[in-house]
Structure 1
Amino acid sequence: MHTRRTHRSTRTRARTAAVLLAASLLATACSAGGASTSAGPEAPRAAGATEASTATLAALPEATPSELTGYYGQKLSWRDCGAPGFQCATVKAPLDYAQPSRGDISLAVARKKATGPGKRLGSLLVNPGGPGGSAIGYLQQYAGIGYPAEVRARYDMVAVDPRGVARSEPVECLAGRRMDAYTATDITPDDERETGELVDAYKEFAEACGADAPKLLRHVSTVEAARDMDVLRAVLGDEKLTYVGASYGTFLGATYAGLFPDRAGRLVLDGAMDPSLPARQLNLEQTEGFETAFQSFAEDCVRQPDCSLGGKGTTPDQVGRNLKAFFEKLDAQPIPTGDADGRELTESLATTGVIAAMYDEAAWQQLREALTSAMKENDGAGLLILSDSYYEREAGGRYSNLMSANAAVNCLDLPPAFTSPDQVREALPAFEKASPVFGEGLAWSSLNCAYWPVRHTGEPHRIEAAGADPIVVVGTTRDPATPYRWAQALAAQLSSAHLLTYEGDGHTAYGRGSACIDSAINTYLLRGTPPQDGKRCS
């Protein structure tokens, strides 16, 4: 089943089966973790964001509190790890910033030192999104070797897995066959029995998370992760943070800027989120984003000879109706996949596979082939591969902790989108209008945080980061996971933002083939010169 997130996996995986969003199938925003909010002037709102918050994230005091000086003064012990040239270490942070004496949390850090030539510019921290994506995995598999050579020459490339994620004391919920059953649960219930089964699945997942990490679960908020980044900045010896965050990583980076505007250096927020929106609005607008991306795929599909959803003369709307009809057939009767563990392709898994391919237009051919196999040959293997990539499931039923961490952060950062099945039913017309194909499933996927074992600590709010250096906010016009309007909204909130627009498809823009985008961001990272506000690339 879906759980909403924004995440960009390693470039290799993104090119083949782009992992997407899940755990409330997105719903991320700022949590309290020691920060406060205050009333502030209202920025222009994106169309449809009628429920946006006008509260503003308040900066923390510039002076480091005495009880935190030990954390800020620690020394890292680096060791070789992973591929040649990479080093790893561990940094300590307080589990609870409000009460640092109550214990530490260990955070995994990795780096690849600047290769030269040219003067070293400091550390460049990267985050691929999620929440729940492993920043260290992203660094070792893509950023540390795939970022532009001129950037890697001048910066130490650095990543930290946020608290509760991957190597940093990971939250672990369901595993193996239990997780297989969870991901295959019907997310378009037809009656009270199926609704009850869906609610039971959410409850089982939540209870497992609570049993695994009862203390940690209260301290995995985005604000706390942002505070951890400031500890790391100091430990690395950098006066200001230089950072590239994608997808959810933009919310993490914007939160850092809001808390520490005087320490925010060159920040790139690619595939931006709008922190002022409540969970239901976020989920609804993301549903619209997936529909926009699907329409683009459909227009391309009907021009291709291998499009099983419709041939020449078929309209994109008809393509959508054909896909919806296919999903309904799977709802009634799943099809075989040849999976060694005996899994069949359910409606939920097929929907996940299709949505996964919306993240990168390079995956559209793979999706067409998978749909042809499923619809004409009764073979669901191709769609299951796409779905497994989304969930980071390996052969044999081993899952990463992506989905567990994703839910843990999302459900702490914002009040739940819905608190009962009745609320979902009331909202179904709006979600189905936003996306006739995906709306119903994405609405029911937004119910998961209703049963979370710990209460949320965050609320929606604006981030202004008054006094920060120029920040580059990047938006893609047909981004499925982080709709372009979110980049516009975040740029309107941040006092020093420069909006950079990519007119195209796919999730995020940097390193995806636009020389115009890459040149603008590289110039900013290397020289500190941001692109002209409003610059557009294609």
Structure 2
Amino acid sequence: MTRPTTRRATTRSIRASLLTGAAVFLLSGCTLVTTLAGGGSGGGGGQAEDVDVIPTGLDPSIQTFYEQDLGWDECGSGLECATAEAPMNWADGTSEQIELAMVKVPASSGNPIGTIFTNPGGPGASGVSFVRDSAQYVFTPELMEDFDIVGWDPRGVGESSAVECRDDAGMDEWFYGVDEDLDPDTATDEQIIAEVTANSKEFADDCLENTGALLEFVDTKSTVQDLDLLRALVGDPKVNYFGFSYGTDIGAQYIDMFPETVGRVVLDGATDPTLSTFEVVLAQQGAFGEATRTYLEDCLTTTSCPFTGTVDEAIAKINTLMAEADDTLPVNADGRKLTSGVIDTAISSALYNDQSWPYLSDAFATFETAGDPAGFFALSDSYYGRGPDGTYADNMFEAFTAINCLDYPVETDPAKIADFNRQIAESTPIGIPGPEALGDTTCQQWAFPSTNELAPVTGAGADPVLVIGTTGDPATPYAWAEAVTEQLESATLLTFEGEGHLAYTQGDSCITGAVDAYFIDGTVPAEGLVC
């Protein structure tokens, strides 16, 4: 998800922002009502006789990739792994080759209906790690009985040909570095913007130097073309796909680019491909603001809540605490210094999952009573995938920046930037506004500016697809699911009334039943079904 950068956090520490998915486990129930839909072939698990899995009319240099042998090898715990090759530049099949890492959980029946590809979000999250470590917790036994579940690391991510910007110490500096030469109370807007721009330029230069030519070709549309390649390599004439959070963008773009090879596609926590970066951030800030208030309303009903009084009084207390942190820079046990940016990230992390709310309350309570910021750092570290030893689990946030800078055109109009910052200040209950002239400095410094045009997806002629929206989702607001459902010609919206990010992962029988019936039998939920 993307969070605002406060003036003090901007002055003290340079932080990256993120749009990522997180599993939540809130149980509820409803009555499932379905209708049978025509079509919706899911494809086969192996090479189907008399069915073309390779598109016709391909350039010979591209067709070579579609004809490669994909060898699956055992890689522990019943899993199978493979590596596919793809062109770095899909517009030039003779360009340098890249590798795409894949992992498969074979169907427990031994006779799969087909393959379900899946992506957990980000951009930048590892599909390999997601399937390897979490498939049995996320997907139902019924789904895993009938389908091979395949995760892959998109180009730029994880075990595939990957974006590399900095080592662990360098990423610590990017997320947690503190500039003590700038006083957050007296620094001018010009000084703040100059400092942020210099840091952003250094980070962008590091990414180009350490990644090389790949940095230009990690956009989502290239990943969509990779997905069609992988579909053919597993022998499926149509793609079955389950996307979460940003993973829904991959799915929606696939439906639009390859409608004739769409099988059964589920988009949970859908994003709206028509929105600019500013529109995405503004929508998220409204949703996270509501989630903050919901958390505080719940907290104030408990005896262990570190706040008293009203929600507005609790928000005022948090803002005061954040300002004081920037003034005093409390030191964590490992030497890192607490800023409002760390607190802001900790709050964001907890709001993805209402089961994390007690950890956020504990962090505030421990800091208030003992001056110990460890709880804030623990939540922030979990957000960034940073281990207690200071190592980062993967390159998610390097890839996140690289992909977003290619996917979203950068706004440079000073008037629009100022208007955006004013709207952020109005919509965000937590934090102190930054300079009105501060834009997206990281992507402004990026080596390869975005050439992507934001446009609605239609998927004309595609088989029926399923979009899921959660009413209390702070990271991918429900309105986005409504919007992408409206755009896609064959989409049906399934609504989950609840808090947190994503629906299928919450274990609600109404949601899982509808999704499983869709994948297994091609049964599409009734229009307007609410769980």
State the identity %: 35
Greater shift, 285-294 or 128-137, is seen at 285-294
**2:66 — aligned with what?**
72
For 2:328, give the aligned amino acid. Answer: Q
CA shift, 1:305, in A, is 1.6
Is the alpha carbon distance of 1:147 and 1:404 closer, same or farther for their aligned partners in structure 2, counting shifts above 3 Å? same
Q: Is the 8 A contact 2:411 2:439 kept in 1?
A: no
**1:381 — aligned with what?**
374
Is the alpha carbon distance of 1:536 and 1:124 closer, same or farther for their aligned partners in structure 2, counting shifts above 3 Å? same
1:137 aligns with 2:137: no
Instruction: Please give the alpha-carbon distance, in whole angstroms, between the structure 1 residues aligned to 2:439 and 2:142.
Output: 42
Per-residue CA deviation, residues 283-309 of structure 1 (Å, 9 max, x unaligned), is 11111121121121111111122221x
Of structures 1 and 2, the larger Rg is shown by 2
Q: Is the 8 A contact 1:114 1:120 kept in 2?
A: yes
Q: Is the 8 A contact 1:2 1:442 kept in 2?
A: no
Secondary structure of the 2:524 match is coil
Instruction: Please give the alpha-carbon distance, in whole angstroms, between the structure 1 residues aligned to 2:435 and 2:499.
Output: 21
Instruction: Please give the alpha-carbon distance, in whole angstroms, between the structure 2 residues aligned to 1:442 and 1:534.
Output: 43
Instruction: Please give the alpha-carbon distance, in whole angstroms, between the structure 1 residues aligned to 2:108 and 2:95.
Output: 40
CA shift, 1:442, in A, is 12
CA shift, 1:489, in A, is 0.5
**1:211 — aligned with what?**
209
Aligned counterpart in structure 2 of residue 323 of structure 1, from 301, 318, 325: 318
1:428 aligns with 2:441: no
Is the alpha carbon distance of 1:63 and 1:266 closer, same or farther for their aligned partners in structure 2, counting shifts above 3 Å? farther
Q: Is the 8 A contact 1:185 1:348 kept in 2?
A: no
Instruction: Please give the alpha-carbon distance, in whole angstroms, between the structure 2 residues aligned to 1:237 and 1:337.
Output: 53
For 1:393, give the aligned amino acid. Answer: R
**1:485 — aligned with what?**
479
**1:451 — aligned with what?**
445
For 1:297, give the aligned amino acid. Answer: Y
Secondary structure of the 1:525 match is helix
1:195 aligns with 2:193: yes
Instruction: Please give the alpha-carbon distance, in whole angstroms, between the structure 1 residues aligned to 2:207 and 2:346.
Output: 25
Greater shift, 469-478 or 432-441, is seen at 432-441
Instruction: Please give the alpha-carbon distance, in whole angstroms, between the structure 2 residues aligned to 1:61 and 1:354.
Output: 47
Is the alpha carbon distance of 1:112 and 1:338 closer, same or farther for their aligned partners in structure 2, counting shifts above 3 Å? same
**1:336 — aligned with what?**
331
CA shift, 1:70, in A, is 1.3
Instruction: Please give the alpha-carbon distance, in whole angstroms, between the structure 2 residues aligned to 1:320 and 1:8.
Output: 25
**1:303 — aligned with what?**
301
Instruction: Please give the alpha-carbon distance, in whole angstroms, between the structure 1 residues aligned to 2:193 and 2:340.
Output: 15
Is the alpha carbon distance of 1:500 and 1:3 closer, same or farther for their aligned partners in structure 2, counting shifts above 3 Å? farther
Instruction: Please give the alpha-carbon distance, in whole angstroms, between the structure 2 residues aligned to 1:110 and 1:152.
Output: 14
Q: 1:108-127 residue pairs with structure 2 within 5 A?
A: 108-116=101-109, 119-127=111-119
Q: 1:237-386 residue pairs with structure 2 within 5 A?
A: 237-308=235-306, 310-311=307-308, 314-339=309-334, 342-386=335-379
Per-residue CA deviation, residues 107-165 of structure 1 (Å, 9 max, x unaligned), is 10110100017x52111111000000000000011114541001000001101100010
Secondary structure of the 2:505 match is coil
CA shift, 1:3, in A, is 3.2
Greater shift, 348-357 or 170-179, is seen at 170-179
CA shift, 1:386, in A, is 0.9
Instruction: Please give the alpha-carbon distance, in whole angstroms, between the structure 1 residues aligned to 2:482 and 2:432.
Output: 24
Secondary structure of the 1:475 match is strand
Aligned counterpart in structure 1 of residue 509 of structure 2, from 491, 509, 515: 515
Secondary structure of the 2:222 match is helix
Q: Is the 8 A contact 1:250 1:270 kept in 2?
A: yes
Secondary structure of the 1:498 match is strand
Instruction: Please give the alpha-carbon distance, in whole angstroms, between the structure 2 residues aligned to 1:438 and 1:143.
Output: 37
Per-residue CA deviation, residues 83-108 of structure 1 (Å, 9 max, x unaligned), is 41111110011111111112211110
**1:168 — aligned with what?**
160
**1:179 — aligned with what?**
171
**2:90 — aligned with what?**
97
For 2:369, give the aligned amino acid. Answer: K
Secondary structure of the 2:530 match is strand
Per-residue CA deviation, residues 23-55 of structure 1 (Å, 9 max, x unaligned), is xxxxxxxxxxxxxxxxxxxxxxxxxxxxxxxxx
Greater shift, 524-533 or 492-501, is seen at 524-533
CA shift, 1:423, in A, is 6.0
Instruction: Please give the alpha-carbon distance, in whole angstroms, between the structure 2 residues aligned to 1:275 and 1:230.
Output: 19
For 1:496, give the aligned amino acid. Answer: S
Per-residue CA deviation, residues 418-456 of structure 1 (Å, 9 max, x unaligned), is 577x86444322001111215847996844212111111
Secondary structure of the 1:536 match is coil
**1:227 — aligned with what?**
225
CA shift, 1:177, in A, is 2.5
Instruction: Please give the alpha-carbon distance, in whole angstroms, between the structure 2 residues aligned to 1:115 and 1:445.
Output: 50
Is the alpha carbon distance of 1:478 and 1:350 closer, same or farther for their aligned partners in structure 2, counting shifts above 3 Å? same
Is the alpha carbon distance of 1:484 and 1:185 closer, same or farther for their aligned partners in structure 2, counting shifts above 3 Å? farther
For 1:514, give the aligned amino acid. Answer: D
Secondary structure of the 1:174 match is coil
Instruction: Please give the alpha-carbon distance, in whole angstroms, between the structure 2 residues aligned to 1:61 and 1:2.
Output: 43
**1:414 — aligned with what?**
408
Q: Is the 8 A contact 1:164 1:216 kept in 2?
A: yes
Is the alpha carbon distance of 1:336 and 1:133 closer, same or farther for their aligned partners in structure 2, counting shifts above 3 Å? same
Greater shift, 68-77 or 219-228, is seen at 68-77
Q: Is the 8 A contact 2:421 2:434 kept in 1?
A: no
Secondary structure of the 1:469 match is coil
Is the alpha carbon distance of 1:442 and 1:231 closer, same or farther for their aligned partners in structure 2, counting shifts above 3 Å? farther
CA shift, 1:329, in A, is 1.1
Instruction: Please give the alpha-carbon distance, in whole angstroms, between the structure 1 residues aligned to 2:432 and 2:224.
Output: 32
Is the alpha carbon distance of 1:480 and 1:73 closer, same or farther for their aligned partners in structure 2, counting shifts above 3 Å? same
Secondary structure of the 1:130 match is coil
CA RMSD, Structure 1 to Structure 2 (Å): 2.3
Q: Is the 8 A contact 2:122 2:246 kept in 1?
A: yes
**1:8 — aligned with what?**
21
For 2:251, give the aligned amino acid. Answer: G
CA shift, 1:412, in A, is 0.4
Q: Is the 8 A contact 2:220 2:407 kept in 1?
A: yes
CA shift, 1:186, in A, is 6.8
Aligned pair count reads 483
Instruction: Please give the alpha-carbon distance, in whole angstroms, between the structure 1 residues aligned to 2:360 and 2:353.
Output: 11
Instruction: Please give the alpha-carbon distance, in whole angstroms, between the structure 1 residues aligned to 2:506 and 2:412.
Output: 35
Is the alpha carbon distance of 1:181 and 1:115 closer, same or farther for their aligned partners in structure 2, counting shifts above 3 Å? same
